[in-house]
Amino acid sequence: MAQASIHLAESFTDPPNYSFPHHRLNRTLRDPSKTPIVLVACGSFSPVTYLHLRMFEMAKDYVRQNTDFEIVGAYLSPVSDQYKKPGLLSARHRVTMCNLAAEESNNWLMVDPWEAFQSYQRTAIVLDHFDHEINTVLGGVETASGEHRTVRPMLLAGSDLIATMSEPGVWSYADLDHILGRYGCLIVERAGTGMDQAVDSLARWRSNIYLISQLIQNDVSSTKVRLFLRRGLSVRYLLPNAVVNYIEQHGLYQEEGSASVSDKGKDKETSGSSSRKETSQVC
């Protein structure tokens, strides 16, 4: 269970005019015997695809069938422009596309622009921010009979992201302990990255790591979507219609750098990603 007072940062810096989105946060726990959790997916979302949205649906099914958790909210948290990953469009566009996707696709997902519109924030700090906003500022949630409950933010990520947790220099031990020991993580299997491999070196936190298998293989990635757009190919039905329309209206992902012309797929652009190495410098 998250304890509201132990955070890595002493205080949080909010972007100008920021307010924490909580319009779809369920403030009443349906089942008082369950632990309330909030799902937080961190990433570039450049652009957001159906596979990003699918992670939440898979997590919802998994949580209902296999755990004593109850999901009271779910968030996309797009990374700051300072992450400097190849193909990272400005935060303004990425946040707007995530909002369009969340509005069009379901009635429970929200987009938190907190990390997008400021300096780079490590994932451990992002989870602390959610803990602070939901438990300290909003006061957590209540059962139907009025009992207070602390909400636990949990990281929702694909197995490729979790695999980077074993790469030297990308995540600090203290941050991993904070993310996996204190909060926990739901991992969605991603084509090309075995889940066992991904969690092998994270054994000490195994009880807080929940593995969700893919029953339908689909290797859509933002990199491939960017590549299609640069080549003038259709991306409809890979991402929500509202996002496709937004990309077309604004002529996004046409320039060099949004995906390399020689890119054959995801691996080339992301393997040894400079962003992850740069991230390691701020760990």
Ligand X SMILES: Nc1ncnc2c1ncn2[C@@H]1O[C@H](COP(=O)(O)OP(=O)(O)OP(=O)(O)O)[C@@H](O)[C@H]1O
Binding site for ligand NMN (CB under 6 A): 42-44, 79, 83, 85, 122-124, 161, 164, 170-171, 175, 273, 275-276, 279, 283
CB-neighbour burial class of residue 100 (10 A; exposed 0-12, middle 13-18, buried 19+): buried
Q: Would you tell me which residues interact with ligand X (CB under 6 A)?
A: 41, 43-46, 51-52, 55, 87, 157-158, 160-161, 188, 190, 219-223, 266, 270
Min CB(68)–ligand X separation in Å: 24
Q: How far apart are CA 143 and CA 168, in angstroms?
A: 43
Measured from the CB atom, is 260 or 273 closer to ligand NMN? Answer: 273
Measured from the CB atom, is 36 or 158 closer to ligand NMN? Answer: 158
Min CB(45)–ligand NMN separation in Å: 8
> Using CA atoms in the order 98, 103, 105, 106, what is the torsion angle rounded to 10 degrees?
120
Measured from the CB atom, is 44 or 105 closer to ligand NMN? Answer: 44
In three-state secondary structure terms, 157 is strand
Measured from the CB atom, is 25 or 51 closer to ligand X? Answer: 51
Min CB(276)–ligand NMN separation in Å: 5
Helices marked H in the chain? 50-66, 91-105, 123-131, 159-163, 173-176, 195-199, 222-230, 241-250, 266-270, 274-282
> Is residue 98 a contact partner of residue 111, using CB atoms and an 8 Å limit?
yes
Min CB(263)–ligand X separation in Å: 10
